[in-house]
Amino acid sequence: MILNMNGGGGVNLNFEVVSGATKPENPTENTIWVNTTTPINEVCFSANNPINPVSGIVWIKTGTSGSVSFNALKKNAIMICPLCVNQLINGNWEEKEAKFYQDNEWKELITYFYNGESSGWSSYKPNSNGGWLEGTLTFDNAMILNTDNDVSQIVVVSDNMHDLTNIETIAFVIDNDTVFSTNKDAYVGICNAKIWSWNPGDGNIKPPSQYAEEYVQITDTGEIDVDVTEFSGNHYLFICSINKQKIICSKVYSK
C-alpha cells in the first residue's frame, strides 16, 4: 500500500504519519511519528522494498509479529504490523527512528521472532553417526530447552529464516534461575544453515564461519544481545545448549 502525502484519499484511513525532529504533543490514536526533517512525499507499507521509489518516500516495513498492530481503515479491515521505518534520501535507504501512538502512549516498533508462542522453533541433537535427530523442546509461554540424558548438546533453531537487513541487534531473553558457567554452557546467535556440522569423534557441535556467522556465549541470565549490524539477508536464529544445561527463553526480538 502506497500513500501520496501530497494528495487526497485519506478520508477512510485510520492512522496518520507525521514527521519532525520531536514527537507531536497531542497525537491521535494510531499516529506514526518518523524522526526526519526530510519531507515525506509518499509512504509505503510493505514487507519488501518498494519498486521504483521516489526520493523522500518512507518505507514502513511490515510483518506478521511485532510490538504493535492496527487496522489501517475506518470502514474495512486491513491489519498492519509495522516493524521498522526507512526513508529514501539522496538515493540511499536510511533507517529512521519511529514510534507508534496507541492506547494513550508511544510504543517502540519491535520485531518479535519469538514471544511465547508454542511453535516456530525446532530442536536437534547429534547422534553417534554424525547425523542429527529431533530433540526435546517444551513450550510453556517460553521455550524450555532440556538436553536428553543420552546427549550433552542440543540446538534449537527457528523454523524459518528471518531478514536481518536494517536490524542492529537481536535480543534473546533468558529466564533461567541459575547462572551459566564460562565453560561453554550455551550460545545464542544467527546462522545460515539450519543443521550445523558435528564431529562425533570429539563430541562437539561446531559452528564454523560458514554456518554460525555471529554467536554470543551466555554467561548469565537476562537479555543477551547479538550484534547483527554487519549482516543482511535471511538467517536462522539459534540457541545452543552444551553440558546438559537447561535453557529457558521467553523472547527473541530486534532492537
For residue 61, the SS3 value is: strand
Least confident of 28-37, 60-69, 101-110, 221-230: 60-69
Nearest CA-CA partner of 41 in 74, 8, 75, 3: 3
pTM of the model: 0.70
The pLDDT value given to residue 105 = 93
Question: How high is the mean pLDDT of the chain?
Answer: 82
Instruction: Give me the percent of the chain exceeding a pLDDT of 90.
Output: 29
Q: From residue 167, how far is each of 47, 162, 198 by CA, in Å? A: 14, 11, 30
Q: What is the mean pLDDT of residues 6-14?
A: 62
Instruction: Domains for the chain: give ranges and CATH numbers.
Output: 2-110 (no CATH), 114-254 (2.60.120)
- pLDDT at position 210: 41
Residues 6+ apart with CB under 8 A from 140: none
Q: Is 249 helix (H, G, I), strand (E, B) or coil?
A: strand
11: Cβ contacts below 8 Å, ≥ 6 apart: none
Identity of residue 200: P
pLDDT in tens, 81-106: 888 888 999 998 888 888 999 999 99
Give the pLDDT of residue 249.
94
Q: Compute the average pLDDT of residues 218-234.
A: 88
Q: Is the separation of the CB atoms in 136 and 154 below 8 Å?
A: yes
Confidence of residue 1 (pLDDT cuts 50, 70, 90): low
pLDDT at 29: 92
Assess whether pLDDT exceeds 50 at residue 120: yes
pLDDT per position as a tens digit, 144-175: 987 655 667 788 999 988 888 778 899 999 99
Minimum mean pLDDT among 3-17, 47-61, 77-91, 107-121: which range? 3-17
Assess contact for 70 and 49: CB atoms under 8 A: no
How sure is the predictor about 205, in pLDDT bands with cuts at 50, 70 and 90? Answer: low
Least confident of 10-14, 52-56, 153-157, 204-208: 204-208
Supply the pLDDT for residue 237: 92
Where residue 183 falls among pLDDT bands split at 50, 70, 90? confident
DSSP, residue by residue, 195-224: S-EEETTTTEEE--TTTEEEEEE--SSEEE
